[in-house]
């Protein structure tokens, strides 16, 4: 089922000033008006009458191809040159010996899961005494974890936004933090240089899941419809991360509007695991309300963006000695995403790690 377009406020909505004399842009689209006419109609609606954060989608007239037209402040979505997500190509990775181990605080966090109608969003309580700080790795500053996004597919063959050698994982969790040394909050940091860090966790299917992930998956049934939220408590982000010190990193953007090009991406080189039962519960989430459920929430991945000559660095050393004092770089496919199958798992090979 294709994703259904956004709901605009109606005359009965407390936030609506449209009245009944003006049809919302999506209705115009359904009337098969030319795209130019739809965009023109958008321009005539005062910004104060719309909630840009609520009605963008992942397909159709309000999908990724049109994010830059929906809101003038989102122009980078259409014109940016450092956009995310990207495909990680093994042969183009550059080993950087200056990259340090990534450090994530051990503090447990509490917060809430929200079904926004576009994604399942994790929001961390900011009034906590102990914040989870992210430092090290490619970062020059200390970043404070604030939110996360869960991207997933309605089938196993799609879901993650980033890809590894063209392989798309069933899901991807993206954890965002803001530069707490230079800026006060995410709203300020997203517009500023080195404002945001995003840690990407790829999810693969396995019978034995990540135990810490259960803190989140146990609440999926409470956020089945748009606008619903559910609290979570005592989540250890450190324990959620896979058991690896290896990662890839590049300069990019947020993958949701307004596609801010102030994001340092850190893609960990090993997935975490989710069961089929947990993934099934995730796929039952809907875009709309209980009265109008619309389409499933899944398939919420922005299309791949071109690298435009950006460098993707890694802290895995490709160098091998070839005789005395003659190191060379070998283009081993350290990040080749092995196909997942029960036969491979039973043989102890190709477990879905990268690698």
Q: What local confidence, expressed as pLDDT, does residue 317 receive?
A: 85
Lowest mean pLDDT among 4-13, 188-197, 251-260, 280-289: 4-13
The pLDDT of 26-50, averaged and rounded, is 43
pLDDT for residue 326: 34
pLDDT at 328 over 50: no
Interatomic CA distance for residues 251 and 84, integer angstroms: 9
Q: Is the pLDDT confidence value at 126 over 80?
A: yes
Contact yes or no for 120/213 (Cβ under 8 A):
no
pLDDT at 27: 31
Q: What residues pair up with 285 in beta bridges, in sequence order?
A: none
In the prediction, which pLDDT does 319 show?
A: 65
**Mean pLDDT confidence for 283-305:** 97
pLDDT band at 57 (very low <50, low <70, confident <90, very high): very high
Report which of residues 353 and 28 the model is more confident about.
353
pLDDT for res 110: 95
DSSP reduced 3-state for 68: helix
pLDDT at 48 over 70: no
Q: How confident is the model at residue 322 (pLDDT cuts 50, 70, 90)?
A: very low
Phi-psi group of 325: left, alpha or beta (phi > 0 → left; psi -120 to 50 → alpha; rest → beta): left
- Give Cβ neighbours of residue 26 (< 8 Å, ≥ 6 apart): 5, 6, 8, 55, 61, 62
Our answer to whether residue 334 is catalytic in this structure is no
Which member of 183, 250, 273, 334 is catalytic? 183
In tens, the pLDDT along 160-219 reads 999 999 999 999 999 999 999 999 999 999 999 999 999 999 999 999 888 999 999 999
pLDDT for 130 equals 85
Per-residue pLDDT band for 52 (boundaries 50, 70, 90) equals low
How far apart (Å, rounded) are the C-alpha atoms in residues 175 and 194?
16
The CB-side HSE value for 286 (13 A sphere, CA atoms) comes to 11
Res. 248 pLDDT band, cuts 50 70 90? very high
The pLDDT value given to residue 47? 46
Percentage of residues in the chain having pLDDT higher than 70? 74
Reply yes or no on whether the pLDDT at 268 is more than 60.
Answer: yes
Q: Kindly tell me if the per-residue pLDDT of 4 is higher than 80.
A: no
Contact 201, 241 (CB under 8 A): yes
CATH 3.10.200.10 fits 83-321, yes or no: yes
What is the pLDDT, as a whole number, of residue 51? 62
């Amino acid at each position: 089922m294709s994703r259904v377009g956004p709901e605009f406020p109606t005359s009965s909505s407390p936030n609506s000033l449209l009245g009944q004399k003006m049809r919302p842009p999506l209705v115009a689209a359904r009337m098969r008006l030319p795209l130019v006419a739809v965009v023109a109609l958008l321009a005539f609606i005062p910004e104060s009458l719309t909630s840009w954060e609520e009605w963008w989608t992942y397909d159709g007239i309000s999908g990724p191809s049109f994010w830059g037209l929906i809101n003038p402040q989102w122009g980078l979505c259409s014109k940016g040159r450092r956009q995310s997500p990207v495909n990680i190509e093994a042969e183009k990775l550059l080993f950087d010996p200056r990259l340090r181990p990534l450090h994530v605080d051990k503090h447990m966090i509490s917060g809430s899961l929200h079904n926004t109608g576009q994604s399942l969003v994790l929001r961390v309580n900011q009034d906590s005494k102990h914040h989870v700080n992210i430092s090290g790795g490619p970062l020059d500053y200390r970043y404070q974890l604030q939110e996360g996004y869960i991207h997933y597919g309605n089938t196993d063959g799609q879901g993650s936004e980033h890809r590894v050698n063209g392989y798309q994982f069933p899901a991807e969790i993206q954890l965002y933090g803001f530069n707490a040394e230079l800026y006060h909050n995410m709203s300020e940091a997203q517009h500023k240089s080195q404002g945001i860090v995003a840690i990407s966790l790829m999810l693969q299917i396995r019978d034995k899941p990540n135990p810490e992930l259960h803190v989140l998956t146990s609440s999926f049934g409470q956020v089945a419809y748009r606008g619903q939220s559910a609290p979570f408590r005592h989540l250890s982000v450190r324990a959620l991360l896979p058991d690896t010190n290896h990662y890839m990193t590049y300069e990019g953007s947020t993958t949701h509007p307004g596609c801010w090009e102030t994001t340092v991406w850190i893609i960990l080189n090993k997935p975490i695991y989710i069961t089929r039962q947990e993934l099934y519960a995730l796929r039952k989430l809907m875009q709309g309300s209980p009265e109008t459920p619309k389409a499933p929430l899944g398939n919420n991945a922005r299309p791949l963006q071109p690298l435009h000559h950006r460098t993707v660095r890694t802290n895995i050393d490709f160098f091998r000695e070839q005789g005395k004092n003659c190191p060379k770089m070998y283009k081993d496919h350290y990040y080749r995403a092995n196909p997942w199958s029960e036969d491979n798992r039973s043989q102890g090979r190709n477990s879905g790690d990268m690698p």
